[in-house]
Amino acid sequence: MTYLRNCWYMAAWADEVGEAGLARTLLDQPIFLFRDADGAPQALLDRCPHRFAPLSMGEVAGGVVTCRYHGLAFDGTGACVHNPHGPVTRALATPSYPVAERHRAIWIWMGDPERADPDQIRDLGFLADAPDTAFNKGYVLGGGNYQLFVDNILDLSHTDYLHPDTLGGGSITRTRAKVEQRDDGIIKIMWDSYDDVPPPLVRSKMPEGVERADSWTHVEWSAPGVMKLVNGAVPAGTPREGAGNSINVHIMTPESERTTHYFFASTRDYALDDAELNEAIRRIRAQIFSTEDEPMIAAQQERIGAADFWDLKPALLRIDEGAVAVRRRLDTLIAAEQAEWQAETA
Interval 288-301: pLDDT, tens? 999 999 999 999 99
- pLDDT of amino acid 3: 97
More confident residue, 211 or 26: 26
Domains recognised in the chain with CATH numbers: 8-120 (2.102.10.10), 130-335 (3.90.380.10)
- pLDDT of amino acid 207: 87
Element (H, E) at 215: strand 213-222
| Mean model confidence pLDDT for the chain | 96
- pLDDT of amino acid 345: 83
- pLDDT of amino acid 161: 96
Interval 12-58: pLDDT, tens? 999 999 999 999 999 999 999 999 999 999 999 999 999 999 999 99
List, as one string, the DSSP characters of 152-191.
HHH-GGGHHHHSTTTT-SSTTTTSPPEEEE-TTS-EEEEE
- pLDDT of amino acid 241: 86
Are residues 296 and 290 in contact, defined by beta-carbon separation less than 8 angstroms?
no
- pLDDT of amino acid 204: 80
SS3 304: helix
* Terminal Cα distance for the chain, rounded: 21
- Give the CA distances from residue 289 to residues 106, 150, 251, 262, 294, in Å, rounded to whole numbers and listed in that order: 22, 13, 13, 9, 6
Amino acid at 169: G
SS3 22: strand
Interval 116-169: pLDDT, tens? 999 999 999 999 999 999 999 999 999 999 999 999 999 999 999 999 999 998
Say whether pLDDT at 337 is over 90: yes
Q: Give CA–CA dist 245/235, Å, rounded.
A: 14
Residues ≥6 apart with Cβ < 8 Å to 101 = 14, 40, 41, 107
Of residues 127, 110, 114, 156, the one with CA closest to residue 14: 127
Interval 92-116: pLDDT, tens? 999 999 999 999 999 999 999 999 9
